[in-house]
Structure 1
Amino acid sequence: MSSSDKSKAKLPQWDALMLESLKAYGWSKEELLRRIHAGELPQDESEFQFDYKLLTATAASDPAVFEEAVFNGYQIKYSTLRGISSWILLALGEEPELSLEPGQESVSAQLSVEERDRLASTVSYGWVIHGEHQGPAGEKSAYRIEPLHRL
């Protein structure tokens, strides 16, 4: 089950995805934060077509929370199935499988224990991660993420 850590900064899902896409540039946390505040960000050419000006606005509206998110991690305020799938792709570099069959909606991915723990601490309340680690510590195992309650 995902953890709900009250001390973590909370970010909207889209802001979390933009932040993760910028982390791929390999900038230090300090440089990333500086660039976001200054609006010195690249043009996104990915399938997501992120408008990073929105992230700059978020950072300006609550600098302390945003800095906390960059330096110490965050929890997404409200996660969606497609958002979780996108987050796994951007943050963990894994290509997840999305199942949209009514009543069986889920995201499946091969993750390490560390990746699974990071995902669990990031998704919003209301999601369950099924699966147990199999094999040596460094290997990836199959996990399925689905809603805690179905309508």
Structure 2
Amino acid sequence: MSSSDKSKAKLSQWDALMLESLNAYGWSKEERLRRIHASELPQDESKFKFDYKLLTVAAASDPATFEDAVHNGYQIKFSTLRGISSWLLLALGEEAELSLEPGQESVSAKLTVEERDRLASTLSYGWVIHGEHTGAADEKSAYRIEPLNRL
């Protein structure tokens, strides 16, 4: 982890997923923050069934951290396999493949260099991304995300 990552705002995985889901509305960062603080958020009809009131509560409990996360990115406090898969779908529009076989747990996805870098900066400590990028930076390559240490 680089020193710049240490100063990133930290969000719970669920708050990060809710925040990413709001990107679908095309709101600017300022409009998103205004709506979150004013609790003027839509009813989520996705498979996630997010309760955006919880996002409003999280933003109110630590406004500076939350605003920093919206403006400058964030790191998830604790990532899970299914959470990473959901984040890839919501943040990058990428359907991931889960491997849940004991001892081989991982998430596989095809990402561009920019998407891979964004994922790497967002994951909590304890995860590693395997794979080498082939081709142009804007072409997708296969990556596997797995726990750094297995029990």
TM-score bucket (shorter structure): over 0.9
Question: Is 2:83 the counterpart of 1:86?
Answer: no
CA contact (8 A) 1:18 1:52 kept: yes
Q: How does 1:1-151 map to 2 (within 5 A)?
A: 5-151=5-151
- The alignment partner of 2:65 has SS state of helix
- Displacement of 1:106: 0.2
With CA pairs under 8 Å and 6+ residues apart, which has the higher RCO, 1 or 2? 1
Structure 2 unaligned blocks of 5 or more: none
The count of aligned residue pairs is: 150
- State percent identity of aligned pairs: 85
- Letter of the 1:25 partner, please give it: Y
Q: 2 CA distance for matches of 1:12 and 1:103?
A: 25
Runs of 4+, deviation exceeding 2 Å? none
Question: 1:37, 1:59 within 8 Å by CA — same for their partners in 2?
Answer: yes
Which deviates more, 134-143 or 65-74?
Answer: 134-143
Contact 1:3/1:125 (<8 A) preserved = no
Amino acid of the structure 1 residue aligned with 2:48? F
Q: Where in structure 1 are there 5+ consecutive unaligned residues?
A: none
Question: Over the residues paired in the alignment, what is the CA RMSD in angstroms?
Answer: 1.0
The offset of 1:136, in angstroms, is 1.5
Q: TM-score, normalised by structure 1?
A: 0.97
1:3/1:107 Cα in 2 relative to 1: closer, same or farther (>3 Å)? Answer: farther
What TM-score do the two structures reach when normalised by structure 2? 0.97
Work out the CA distance in 1 between the residues paired with 2:2 and 2:114.
14
